[in-house]
Amino acid sequence: MPDTDPNAILEGLNPQQREAAEYPGAALLVVAGAGSGKTRVLTRRIAWLIATGRAWPSQILAITFTNKAAAEMRERVHGLLGEAARGMWVSTFHSACLRILRAEAKAVGMNSSFTIYDTQDSRALMKRILKEQRGDVYGLTPAGALHHVSAAKNELRTPDDAGAREGDPTARALREAWRAYEQAKHRANAFDFDDLLCETVFLFRAHPEIAARYRDRFRHVLVDEYQDTNHAQYELVRLLSGGESRGEDSASDAAAERLRTLTVVGDSDQSIYAFRGADVRNITGFEHDFPEARTILLEQNYRSTQNVLTAANAVISHNLERTEKNLWTDTGAGPKLVGFTGYSAHDEAQFVTDEIVRLRDDEGVDYRDMAVFYRTNAQTRALEEILVRGGIPYRVVGGTKFYERAEVKDVLAYLVAVVNPADELSVRRILNVPKRGIGQVTAQRIATWAAEHDQTLVEALSHGADCGVGPRLAGRMAELGEALRDTREALAGGRGLETAVTQLLDRSGYLPALQNSPDPQVQARAENVDELVSQVADFAAGNPEAGLGDFLAEVSLTSAADDLDDAAGAVSLMTLHTAKGLEFDTVFITGLEEGLLPHQMSFDEPGGMSEERRLFYVGITRAKRHLALSLSVMRTLYGQSKSQMPSRFLDDIPAEVLEWRRSPEEATRGGSAELENSGWGRSRGEVGRPGRAGWASPVVVRHREAPRADAVPPIPDRRSEVTWSNLVTPGAARNTLSLQAGDRVRHRRFGEGVVARLTGSGARQIAVVDFDDAGRKQLVVALAPLAKVATKHESDDPTRHISET
DNA sequence: CCTTGCCGATTTTTT
DNA sequence: ATCGGCAAGG
């Protein structure tokens, strides 16, 4: 037993937190408002359970939402208890289920080396099935069909359940596709994401003795973010936490039950995953499910200023059917929220960039403590463009992930083929990558032979002649097959992961094909492959016992938020969903427009608007001190730009906590004077025809009388977007926007010069530059092909950024 | 069997 | 706007 003093563990907790941490009963619900220290309560509770002798670490199962959160929690408990904390399971639902399924693979009829299909894999498989089954004639798309399948599996249904009306041909087609999909996965010895959860539940239901084993082991189950659990996860918790353990005899069991605890932590106001089956009723019905349960409410917020909380409370209070809850803090009002309305997405992004620069310079906020949130991943583009121009280091969390790149998927497919030769999808992917002359026809022959002889595709590679393939192709097939088999044997023989992988990629010809390409873009892919190989090496170094299969599993279950690296001195960009559970000193929430936030898709979904509001609430409550809300009156989507209305959610925020830099009214009506006089939005006329060589000429700003207000259309119109995007050509000079008077700059055509002075800010900032040869020119900093050559010497007059607001 | 070029669909959020 | 799929030509 650890010698840690339980009182030391509970130190520094407020009364409610402390009560939760040392609650002795069997079932506990902690309703934890945003920033109220729930992670703290969870870790202290785990430590308390162990330190007081109520639990051995190995009896603890703690479920978190991301792997990163799991790692943090494990670390923090270790920090409290040291070695005494070894042996806990702290992981996501998916990782925990994976571990169980690997151990019990036989009972579910799988080989323990099964692989995991990600969304792309599932989609590829479903696509093939729909094609084979002519399911597409019923209007089924791979994504659509999978959506239904996923929803059904989250509800723990199977294709054999009654439910779909046989009379409905679409429903029947869907069910047949689903059935075929499950069979194909089973043949491939693979699970998809949803399988990890529902197959574990099915396993426990079909094998009570196995369930009992885990139930006996995990006497103490703790679940974070309980509001976002779906039905399968709910069922899993019930099965594991002894909800079903009646009927077993003996007094010792009863005694053991007394030492059993279930702790769930969550906040129904932060439930944002209904779209993937999360059911708030899991948390709202907790007291009903566990009548003896105790509920503890945490309302004191330790994260945000009062102004941020006032906005958050006001926004969420518009949701009906919620338990009243009011976050409060004793840390003071803090700065007001800032609002900004851009004329375009780029203008909005410029505001973000300017504000980042300002906060860093004036308030000393580090890049790593700032984050920009958005509703949809598509919004990153404009933000990235302007951040790059502003010289702001940033990092996109999630989005198009490294592991989704084609070349990375290729390599992973090679590795899967080694570990799990039955995985037809992966083997097919690599058959002709690099080009071996194996096309559709040959691939089908191989697959047919494999199916007829009940062999894996990899096995079939050695039987080219039997498949009816010409000798030349058969030889190449055999080479690939041998490379895969040899790698497998090398690994079994104890060869290091990295060596084996490197040899495979070399011998299969994959890496040489990339490296020898004349196309620099293809060579860049080789770098990504190198990156992946070094990840393999890192993994092997950190997990000496682990195999290739473990690496692949980790890759599959790594989420967007997991690779958020605090050490990187960069601004974080992410969706509002990804932001859950994080906090930053400074938060920008962008795109506060009707149709975006709230999103169009939510309009006719029942409960959709409430969920959008919670999403906004989650975003607001990530901010510690600075919070900026922005929108644009125009937004370009799929090549079409349209005018946008400010989000209804903005109306909920009390005026006294929000200060508009430029309000929606200014942006849509008379406030155009500033714009017109600055040359922005109109400058297209001066710049010359977009797309012509003339774009490189300087933007000479002339003052022109402002048009009469009543004649002004909403600004900017579509043309200014065109102007912009045509000006920002790839390879154009990346002029930093944090220019100072005295800086030395280089212009594409005018050569080098010195900045004499700066006026305006952001997209409309204008630099007066004295060029060595070309004389004095006025340039719009955001548009001109300028690069900074040298900064003004420190010995010179102290200069500051010229910014006006 | 591979390459090219055109057409159509896509687009909410993610383990 | 961008990507993937399909058809036609090499």
User: What is the per-residue pLDDT across A499-557, written as a single tens digit (0 to 9) for each?
Assistant: 999 999 999 989 988 888 777 777 778 888 888 899 899 999 988 989 999 999 888 88
Question: Which position among A4, A16, A17, A38 bears the catalytic label?
Answer: A38
| Active-site residue, A224 included | yes
* Nucleotide nearest to A124 in CA–C1' terms: C4
Q: How far is the CA of A637 from the C1' of B11 (A)?
A: 9
Residue A563's pLDDT band, with cuts at 50, 70 and 90, is low
Cα four-point dihedral sign A55, A60, A64, A66: positive
Q: Which chain B positions come under 7 Å from a protein C-beta? A: 1-3, 9-15
User: What is the per-residue pLDDT across A138-191, written as a single tens digit (0 to 9) for each?
Assistant: 777 888 888 889 999 999 999 888 665 566 777 888 888 899 899 999 989 999
d(CA A748, CA A60): 64
Question: Which position among A622, A624, A684, A788 bears the catalytic label?
Answer: A622
Q: How far is the CA of A443 from the C1' of B3 (A)?
A: 19
User: What is the per-residue pLDDT across A319-376, written as a single tens digit (0 to 9) for each?
Assistant: 987 888 889 999 899 999 999 999 999 999 999 999 999 999 999 999 999 999 999 9
- Under a CB-based contact definition with an 8 Å cutoff, are residues A478 and A461 in contact? yes
Q: Which among A129, A198, A195 is positioned nearest to A424, based on CA atoms? A: A129
Residues by Cβ under 7 A, strand B? A 65-66, 92-94, 118-119, 141, 143, 193-194, 272, 275-276, 375-378, 398, 432, 435-442, 557, 559-561, 574-575, 577-578, 599-602, 605, 637-638
d(CA A172, CA A362): 63
Q: How far is the CA of A602 from the C1' of C1 (A)?
A: 24
Question: Which position among A121, A195, A199, A224 bears the catalytic label?
Answer: A224
d(CA A408, CA A392): 28
| Active-site residue, A39 included | yes
Token output for A465: 């002649």
d(CA A485, CA A421): 9
Q: What are phi and psi of A535, to 5 degrees?
A: -65, -40
Q: How far is the CA of A792 from the C1' of B1 (A)?
A: 61
Q: How far is the CA of A578 from the C1' of B14 (A)?
A: 9
* Residue bearing the bigger pLDDT, A196 or A514: A196
Q: How far is the CA of A374 from the C1' of B14 (A)?
A: 15
Residue A780's pLDDT band, with cuts at 50, 70 and 90, is low
Query: Percent of chain A beyond pLDDT 70?
Result: 79
Residue A705's pLDDT band, with cuts at 50, 70 and 90, is very low
Token output for A158: 């199977």
Question: Which position among A118, A195, A225, A347 bears the catalytic label?
Answer: A225
Q: How far is the CA of A414 from the C1' of B4 (A)?
A: 29
* Nucleotide nearest to A722 in CA–C1' terms: C1
Q: How far is the CA of A615 from the C1' of C4 (A)?
A: 32
Residues by Cβ under 7 A, strand C? A 127, 638-639
Q: How far is the CA of A127 from the C1' of B9 (A)?
A: 15
Question: What's the pLDDT score for residue A718?
Answer: 23
- Give alpha helix (H) positions in A575-636: 608-620
Question: Which position among A16, A270, A636, A765 bears the catalytic label?
Answer: A270
Of the given ranges (A122-131, A502-511, A771-780), which has the lowest mean pLDDT? A771-780
- Locate tokens 């702290």: which residue? A90
Question: Which position among A18, A19, A22, A39 bears the catalytic label?
Answer: A39
**Which residue is closest, via its CA, to the C1' of B13?**
A577
Q: Strand, helix or coil at A253?
A: helix
- Give the number of C-alpha atoms closer than 13 A to the C-alpha of residue A443, restricted to the C-beta side: 16
* Nucleotide nearest to A398 in CA–C1' terms: B14
* Nucleotide nearest to A556 in CA–C1' terms: B15
Task: Calculate the alpha carbon distances from A590 to A327, A378, A505, A603, A620 in Å.
Answer: 24, 12, 43, 19, 11
- CA A347 to chain centroid: 25
Question: What's the pLDDT score for residue A9?
Answer: 87
- Under a CB-based contact definition with an 8 Å cutoff, are residues A292 and A24 in contact? no
* Nucleotide nearest to A274 in CA–C1' terms: B13
Reply yes or no on whether the pLDDT at A399 is more than 70.
no
Average pLDDT over all residues of chain A: 81
Residues composing chain A: 805
Question: What's the pLDDT score for residue A615?
Answer: 95
Token output for A173: 């087609």
Q: How far is the CA of A520 from the C1' of B3 (A)?
A: 20
Reply yes or no on whether the pLDDT at A240 is more than 60.
yes
Cis, bond preceding A598 (omega within 30 deg of 0): yes
Q: How far is the CA of A378 from the C1' of B11 (A)?
A: 8
- This prediction's pTM: 0.79
- CA A449 to chain centroid: 41
* Nucleotide nearest to A640 in CA–C1' terms: C1
Q: Which among A657, A592, A605 is positioned nearest to A341, based on CA atoms? A: A592
Of the given ranges (A309-313, A383-387, A624-628, A708-712), which has the lowest mean pLDDT? A708-712
Residue A560's pLDDT band, with cuts at 50, 70 and 90, is low
Q: Which chain C positions come under 7 Å from a protein C-beta? A: 1, 5
* Nucleotide nearest to A639 in CA–C1' terms: C1
* Nucleotide nearest to A636 in CA–C1' terms: C1
Reply yes or no on whether the pLDDT at A28 is more than 70.
yes
Neighbours of A298 (CB within 10 A): 26
User: What is the per-residue pLDDT across A277-319, written as a single tens digit (0 to 9) for each?
Assistant: 899 999 989 999 988 899 999 999 999 999 999 999 999 999 9
Question: What's the pLDDT score for residue A784?
Answer: 59
